[in-house]
Structure 1
Amino acid sequence: MNLHKAIGTIGGLTMVSRVFGFAREMLMSRIMGASGAADAFLVAFRLPNTFRRLFGEGAFSAGFVPLFSQRYHGPGGLEEAKKFSEEVLAVFLPTLFLFTLVFELIMPAFVWAIASGYADEPAKFDLTVFLTRITFPYLLLISLVSLFSGVLNSLTKFAAAAFAPALLNVAMLAALLIVPTGGERTALALSIGVTVGGVLQLALVWNSARKAGVSLRLRKPEITPSVKQFFLVVIPATLGAGVYQISQLIDTFFATRLPEGSMSYLNYSDRLNQLPLSVIGTALGTAILPQISRFIAKGEPDEAARVQGQAVELSMLLCIPAALALAVVAGPLVAAMFQGGRFTAEDAAITGNVLAIIVMGLPAYVLVKVITPGFYARNDTKTPVKTAVVVLVANIALNFALIPPFGIYGLAAAIALCSWINCILLYVILRRRGHFRIEGWLWSRIARQFAAGLAMGAALWGTRALLAGFFAGSVIERLLGVMALVGVGGIVYFIVAWTIGAMNRDDILILLKRKKVS
């Protein structure tokens, strides 16, 4: 499998999903504003998403894909891998049902624990509980999506799994267009759209897996040796993801105790931060895990390290300029994307400042996606648990230290700092074990990428000053200004990076020749 092709497929379709996601957020900001109803919905949406990352991404990225790949490439082939999937599904499905049912029953207590800042406003608290009960079944649906996505990714069929998130955004967009009145009615429509989106996603990946020859039957739940092996890998990974997700819930806890609109500011800034993270980091992590697992299984650790090194180089080539660009143009970008209707210029300014702080951790977010497959491919899910505990403690301490003097900006700074703590800990451990190290040539390449990024940042700063009138104008003018910034930044970065050797010129020339041939 060609790494660049795989990343292109995943990243390209992820970008399609992100475009729909931006359309959704742009419309939602104008209809909902930074209101109490918007905050209530965002909490209701965040809670099932937090457990989605815990059960779905945490469990299946760490445990399912390597174990499925081992069986698929082993003597039993596809039939053995399919049997393994059915055995896991037989146990996983009822577990998810029970978990969802329990949380539906205890939802008021759960919301109070996570968003106790709303308890002083009974109407807002009750709305948050009601909306969360509607969105929570999304957890069950998206966890099953993760299982079928794991099957497809193991078969190197990335398209359906990468495109599936777009269906959630389409469903939520439809809800906004059908009920554009704002307030509680639109928040209710959005919550229903979340669950409908989960149904659409599951239908897509289930059908794609069936076409790929993996049509899973429902078996009687049984703890087979394969299921035991799966849980031995997954439970530590889930605990590790759980610690990280607890950190996310702690951020929600602190955000709900800040002034009204804080959840909205955090959401819209994170939406822009997530674009490069998902397109670059998720694409790389998804693409390299099956490859590293295969090389480890074949006893070729040097090849596994080579794949990780290639992924680090490519991720930083794309991520460093993305982080610097977002920091420099955060204000104009947020104004162009979200300002309008009920989302005021003051809301946009606060959101832009939050974004400029959060993106300082973006390279670390992406590197974690590249580094952790080095543990998961070796069935080591305990080490990320230990580092996650350290990060959790650091997150709590930083929140208590930074939020009182700096408010929402302190919360953003804590998020960025914790991402670097996690990244550094994981890399140091992997390096000490001799599994992967950033070689001298790669450090040099990264330093040149950073230099090119600084040149791009300077060009963006000057261009932003020249186009100040555009960013204070109409929506069209603001969008034109942002397009000009993107063009200038991209051209300057590519020219400088090419000139000083911040990229592998041979790889770029090969890609260009392929495009010409096609």
Structure 2
Amino acid sequence: MSSKKSRSLLSAGLSLSFFTLCSRILGLVREMTKAAFLGTSKYADAFGIAFMIPNLLRRLFAENAISVAFIPTFKGYLEDSDSSEGKQTIHDFLSATITLISFLTTCVVLAGILLTPLIVRIFLDNDDKSLLAETTILTRIMFPYLVVISIAAFFQGVLNGVKIFSPSGFTPVLFNSVVIAATYILTPILTGNIEDSEVKAQMAARAMSIGVISGGCVQALFQLPFVLKTGWTFHFTTLKKAFTNPGTRRVMKLIVPTIIGMAAYQLNDVVSTALAGKAGTGIVSSLQYSLRLQELILGIFAVSIGTVILPDLSGLAKKEMWADFNAMLIQASKIMALISIPVTFFSLVCGEEIISLVYKSKKFSDESVRLTLVAFRMHIAGLFFIALNRIISPAFYAQGNTKSPTVAGIFGFAVNIALAVAVVTFRNDGTGAGIALALSIASFANTVALFIFLKKNQNLDVKAVTKGTIFYSLKLIVFSLIAAVPTFFVRNALNPVFAGRGRLIDFGVPVFACAMVFAIAGVAMLVITKDEIVRVIIRKFKHR
């Protein structure tokens, strides 16, 4: 690869990482908007469940089909696109694909809208008729999102196939912006002069739902001009041609085997949400607020580390440079530990202030803070294992092994569901703590399974990877505990001083001050011990 192409690829990767980070931040702002208008009310639960249903289908089929099946097939066709016959083949393939996507998703949406009253009963207590009715309305509003977002995924596949990434990377930013704007603009219009807080929350949930379907349309429409600029045209064709096209048949053959593994991973959300919905009001939304904070933390560092370090794994595996591969894997695992373990301890100390700073307003009461905090403490306990899985799984993919991460994912799913069911059945305390803890334990089980499967590769020194990761993690746990002590006392001293001065000062100043104290103590210990990973990170970013 020439240096010019390398720079272009790096630029595209950094651009995509930037848009991903912006999307995560706006996703948090979207949750802050939801918290302000809905809190942890039953309407927040209704919206969370209603949005999860089409969103699950999007992740399972649209994203899976595009990444696993469509793009590889499209790229195969592009290699033979020089001739007029090759161009016509691509045109027919794209036309058949857009027809198939539109037809199948429309059928699913129509069936889903008809069956919505039965579907939502899976997730909610059947005794609350008003909640069932409102969740049914919101689900029916958002179900068509599946059609437009699947078309948007198709456009993304075309663009990514010709190595254009930025437009697709920017669309989640647009989506979150539209949802936020729709909530603020439409809620007063739908509410009118009604002052009843219950009605306001109900209308806000509907406004957000309208924002979701509008945001999906914007995601598709925004990419269309960029797709047309590529020169590849398409149109709707007959269903017979769509189903019999060799390209679409190849796509369907490629996607079916991967759906099982993907389904196991995605069903974690479904079953956890179903259990939470039956455990009490506010638990679904509190778990979602907690997970959004965790996703932001993961997004900030996981994307950056992936951009700078992980692409090297594929190159080393291809060259069979297993010693370097092993060293890179140990290094990447330690970097994840260096960031996620201190973040975990800081979040445990200042979790209440962080949640209050981000979410507390209007409908998000002290009870909402309490519900979200107990879930957040359990979720954050699994942060390191989730982060580590982001490193170990690509190590398998770099070797062309997709089976092992899939089996590990299914095992983690089984552990999560078994523990969550046990908690809700035998020890339901009216919070989402048990369900959140089940997910963290399942992430640990997934990590253990990945390390066990890693041993099958005779070229890797798995013992060195395991030993290096464990000992480095223990060192960081000790450092984090030491740094947490002064942070805890500073927190307790500052909270009364700044109380009652507005949310930003009330919670923002203590969080910032505590973060500085924790960071100074932690960095000081790393510098004193001459930590090698800190030097590696600095050197990597300097070279980029």
TM-score scaled by length of structure 1? 0.84
1:110 equivalent to 2:116? Answer no
Distance 2:76 2:476 in 1: 36
- Stretch of structure 1 that moved more, 338-347 or 142-151: 142-151
Aligned partners of 1:288 and 1:308 also within 8 Å = no
- For residue 483 of structure 1, what is the amino acid of its counterpart? F
How far did residue 43 of structure 1 move? 1.1
Aligned partner of 2:440 among 400, 416, 419: 416
The residue number in structure 2 matching 1:13 is 19
Aligned partners of 2:486 and 2:518 also within 8 Å = yes
Distance 1:445 1:200 in 2: 46
1:188 equivalent to 2:192? Answer no
- For residue 47 of structure 2, what is the amino acid of its counterpart? F
How far did residue 55 of structure 1 move? 1.7
The residue number in structure 2 matching 1:480 is 509
Q: Secondary structure at the match of 2:533?
A: coil
1:243 equivalent to 2:287? Answer no
Distance 2:319 2:77 in 1: 16
Q: Deviations over 1:188-234 (max 9, x none)?
A: 111010011111222334444455x3645246414555544443442
- Which ranges of structure 2 fall in alignment gaps of 5 or more residues? 1-5, 192-199
The residue number in structure 2 matching 1:255 is 276
How far did residue 355 of structure 1 move? 0.3
Distance 1:148 1:328 in 2: 44
Aligned partner of 2:351 among 330, 338, 343: 330
Aligned partners of 1:453 and 1:493 also within 8 Å = yes
Q: Superposition pairs for residues 65-464 of structure 1, below 5 Å?
A: 88-113=97-122, 115-117=123-125, 119-153=126-160, 157-178=164-185, 179-180=187-188, 182-211=200-229, 213=230, 215=232, 217-218=234-235, 220-281=241-302, 300=320, 302=322, 311-376=332-397, 380-403=401-424, 404-407=426-429, 408-434=432-458, 439-440=464-465, 443=469, 449-464=476-491
Distance 1:62 1:190 in 2: 31
Q: Does the C-alpha gap of structure 1 residues 337 and 60 become closer, same or farther in structure 2, counting only changes over 3 Å?
A: same
How far did residue 235 of structure 1 move? 1.7
Distance 1:269 1:409 in 2: 11
Distance 1:465 1:268 in 2: 25
How far did residue 125 of structure 1 move? 0.3
Task: Say how many residue pairs are matched.
Answer: 509
The residue number in structure 1 matching 2:194 is none
- Stretch of structure 1 that moved more, 413-422 or 11-20: 11-20
Q: Secondary structure at the match of 1:320?
A: helix
Aligned partners of 1:172 and 1:190 also within 8 Å = yes
- For residue 12 of structure 1, what is the amino acid of its counterpart? F
Q: Secondary structure at the match of 1:342?
A: coil
Distance 1:77 1:460 in 2: 64
1:468 equivalent to 2:495? Answer yes
1:505 equivalent to 2:532? Answer no
How far did residue 122 of structure 1 move? 1.2
How far did residue 62 of structure 1 move? 4.2
The residue number in structure 1 matching 2:54 is 48
1:31 equivalent to 2:37? Answer yes
Aligned partners of 2:242 and 2:248 also within 8 Å = no
Distance 1:427 1:507 in 2: 24
Q: Secondary structure at the match of 1:120?
A: coil
Distance 2:307 2:158 in 1: 12
Distance 1:267 1:312 in 2: 27
Aligned partners of 1:44 and 1:128 also within 8 Å = yes
Q: Secondary structure at the match of 2:381?
A: helix
Q: Deviations over 1:464-498 (max 9, x none)?
A: 22322257433022122223333444444444445
Distance 2:434 2:315 in 1: 42
How far did residue 245 of structure 1 move? 2.0
Q: Deviations over 1:340-364 (max 9, x none)?
A: 2122112212211210111111222
Q: Does the C-alpha gap of structure 1 residues 445 and 387 become closer, same or farther in structure 2, counting only changes over 3 Å?
A: closer
Distance 1:228 1:190 in 2: 37
- Indicate the structure (1 or 2) with the bigger Cα radius of gyration: 2
Q: Secondary structure at the match of 1:161?
A: helix
How far did residue 292 of structure 1 move? 6.2
How far did residue 421 of structure 1 move? 1.6
- Stretch of structure 1 that moved more, 324-333 or 89-98: 89-98
Aligned partners of 1:62 and 1:381 also within 8 Å = no
How far did residue 381 of structure 1 move? 4.3
- Stretch of structure 1 that moved more, 244-253 or 123-132: 244-253
Identity of aligned residues (%): 28
Distance 1:101 1:289 in 2: 42
Aligned partners of 1:141 and 1:199 also within 8 Å = yes
Q: Does the C-alpha gap of structure 1 residues 195 and 432 become closer, same or farther in structure 2, counting only changes over 3 Å?
A: same
Aligned partners of 1:65 and 1:290 also within 8 Å = no
Aligned partners of 2:39 and 2:363 also within 8 Å = yes
- Which ranges of structure 1 fall in alignment gaps of 5 or more residues? none
Q: Secondary structure at the match of 1:101?
A: helix
Distance 1:116 1:425 in 2: 33
Distance 2:538 2:82 in 1: 36
Q: Does the C-alpha gap of structure 1 residues 176 and 215 become closer, same or farther in structure 2, counting only changes over 3 Å?
A: same
Distance 1:278 1:289 in 2: 15
